Chain A
């Protein structure tokens, strides 16, 4: 056995010695032009958008051809990107870069510092406005281009509401008390086994769809970590947590994940989702949407929420970063953003969305609320340890809010302390 390990160690050293690479990689952009490869998300709507975008660019740029490929979205796309960075074969642009992973990719020297490209910061800020701020890293630099968001709201099933004796057109769901009262009525009347069923599972990103939007709404847009300190160990955080804890304790929300789509299958009367859901539910459920609840109830145009954004990253492995930046600008132009909105129903991270695309929102009134909400969205904390922080939060959340093994107050306090110490890591 010892011999075996020794043999392996020797051969691995040999291999490691051969694999040293001569060139130095940094976050600094280059400006060369030429053909590039881009990846886009693989859901049907975004593939359609990606294909037309690439075709439109290629038509006018015979010397700087773009090759577009799908990457699988979902849980594993960060894994693929991480591996590609390490191997140095990532594409130039990825139109599916999760903000929670950007800090890590930056630390890995995988992403180009866009702020170092002349005019880039101005371009980003002119397009997205104040929302762009939360996509800066701690030094104030952009390692991601804010692209599109899916502001999270509450969807409700109109038929179920009517059956339970609730007003299907103007449901009272603005305050926690109203929300819980409506939930009790829904479950007691037997129209659905759950009033609402956000995934009660332990993945780090799940808190983005229960705690996060409500905390953003309650605090008027506070991030859960600011200046390397957790913010949520406060009254607002406890209120939000207690609200969810009540839903779980009173069996208004299930503690078990449903295999499938609970809202579409009639297992839950409400869902907490973004505008991508419009296309998914349009033939299945007669739905309405309201902003997420707050303790005292806020008007829709004052309610903040979680952004669920996907951004664009320019990767250091790219040879022709000059072209890549041009394509990036082209694909986030007013015309391409209009296409994105039209094809996918997701909201370009653009200021004055509602006025810029007024015609679209007049034609599709169901998207109007999302277009308006897109200007009041909160992002995950920045930095290389985002996922670690979110997992620490999620673990405390599971323990206290969902499974009741710890009281909410001390669980939030523990999570805040843990996140503070994570934030101190380099």
Chain B
């Protein structure tokens, strides 16, 4: 886990590095640059002060028969082992929500990576109307969900713009109340809303791709397409790893969209997400123990996915 995201440069000569590090570690217990610890200290204190207790507490909750109570209240909270996990894993609604998020990720993550990389590359080279174009792509990301959701329902509801254009090709029932389409529409929605964020990440990364590489590729007679694949794509690989990670994590934490756009995971549970169910169970229904178990399972699954992604996208060379 320690090197989930390693830059190509970082891992070029792991063997050489580790031996030299090993030699140094004997002399310096804090590593070669103990200053790093000092630099990180505020962040570590922050994480411990703000996240350690709630997170540790949530994990503890998931193994107990637990509900939130007033301070000083005398309530029994027996240890129940894996019972909450059993409850969760035998609940078809929970299983379905994990499946829904799986569908979501399969659509959202690849689409996000491809579109944001392409658009950022194009935006980076554009000369005219630069500000206008960049602002346009950034806007959905900053606009409050309540307004954006109103627009999407305007577009995708039964008598909406999309169905008017499609005419007889429109799905029935309409998108957001269709078992098969609700989740894909949410995935498109999130891709569209978050794309500005990932475009920014790629734009920043593109500034770091040395222009000499393009020049030499150009002298070798590579066209724009070849340059894109042979210079841009490898040049922004660290950013791609980042985009993969962040989009997977945000996707796994999907909540607002099924809550607002499909009004609580409708139709008939076709767009529920684990976090939505956590919210229902933990906060609305007063069963934080069950919610915590869902949370723990979700965190573990996401970490596994992040690890796998990194294996395949991050550490090839």
Contacts and interface: CB of A to CB of B under 8 A. Distances in A.
A, B bound? yes
Contacts of A107: 67, 69, 286
A25 B67 contact: no
Interface in A316-354: 316-317
B52 A12 contact: yes
A385 to B, nearest CB: 7
Given A86-B68, A256-B158, A259-B149, A388 B266 contact: no
B264 A12 contact: no
A210 to B, nearest CB: 14
A45 interface: no
Interface string A7-51: 111011101100001111110000000000000000000000000
A395 interface: yes
A403 B286 contact: no
A88 B71 contact: yes
Contacts of B283: 79, 82
A178 to B, nearest CB: 27
Given A391-B285, A398-B268, A201 B1 contact: no
Contact of A11 (B48, B74, B158): B48
A369 interface: no
A1 B1 contact: yes
A85 B70 contact: yes
A323 B93 CA distance: 47
A405 B264 CA distance: 18
A109 B268 contact: no
A112 B251 CA distance: 42
Given A202-B263, A256-B177, A403-B177, A16 B56 contact: yes
A193 B158 CA distance: 11
Contacts of A21: 71-72
B10 to A, nearest CB: 18
A398 B269 contact: yes
B234 interface: no
A249 interface: no
Secondary structure class of chain B's binding surface, majority of residues = loop
A22 to B, nearest CB: 8
A273 interface: no
B57 interface: yes
B55 A85 contact: no
A151 to B, nearest CB: 25
B287 A254 contact: no
Interface residues of A, number: 54
A299 interface: no
A179 B280 CA distance: 34
A413 interface: no
Contacts of A13: 56
A255 interface: yes
A387 B153 contact: no
B124 to A, nearest CB: 36
A86 B61 CA distance: 14
Nearest to B303: A1
B97 to A, nearest CB: 12
Contacts of A22: 72
Nearest to B4: A1
Contact of B56 (A12, A203, A204, A399): A12
A75 to B, nearest CB: 9
B269 A193 contact: no
A86 B69 contact: yes
B177 A88 contact: no
B256 interface: no
B265 A12 contact: no
B70 A387 contact: no
Interface string B150-175: 10011001110000000000000110
A385 B285 contact: yes
Given A8-B55, A12-B53, A25 B267 contact: no
A257 B72 contact: no
A133 interface: no
A15 B73 CA distance: 19
Given A12-B52, A24-B74, A109 B267 contact: no
B294 interface: no
Contacts of A259: 149-150, 153-154
Given A8-B56, A88-B70, A109-B75, A395 B263 contact: no
Interface in B39-89: 47-48, 51-57, 59, 67-75
Contacts of B93: 395
Interface in A122-176: none
Contact of B266 (A25, A110, A202): A202
Interface in B261-302: 262-269, 280, 283-287
B304 to A, nearest CB: 11
Contacts of A88: 70-72
A108 B263 contact: no
Interface in A377-426: 384-385, 387-388, 391, 395, 398-399, 402-403, 405
Interface in A65-80: 78-79
The residue among A200, A259, A317 with the most chain B CB atoms within 10 A of its own CB is: A259
A2 B283 CA distance: 29
Contacts of B150: 259
Given A8-B56, A109-B75, A403-B177, A388 B70 contact: no
B267 A108 contact: no
Nearest to B270: A403
B53 A16 contact: yes
A231 interface: no
- 4 smallest beta-carbon distances between A and B, as pairs: A12-B56, A201-B263, A1-B1, A202-B264
Interface of A: 1-2, 4, 7-9, 11-13, 15-16, 21-26, 78-79, 82, 85-88, 104, 107-110, 193, 199-204, 254-257, 259, 316-317, 384-385, 387-388, 391, 395, 398-399, 402-403, 405
23 contacts: A8-B52, A9-B52, A11-B48, A11-B52, A11-B56, A12-B53, A16-B53, A21-B72, A24-B73, A85-B69, A86-B69, A88-B70, A108-B73, A109-B75, A201-B263, A201-B264, A255-B267, A259-B150, A385-B286, A388-B287, A391-B284, A398-B269, A405-B268
Given A8-B52, A405-B268, 20 more contacts: A8-B48, A8-B51, A11-B53, A16-B53, A25-B71, A25-B73, A88-B71, A104-B67, A107-B286, A199-B263, A201-B262, A201-B264, A202-B265, A202-B268, A204-B284, A256-B153, A256-B176, A395-B93, A398-B267, A398-B268
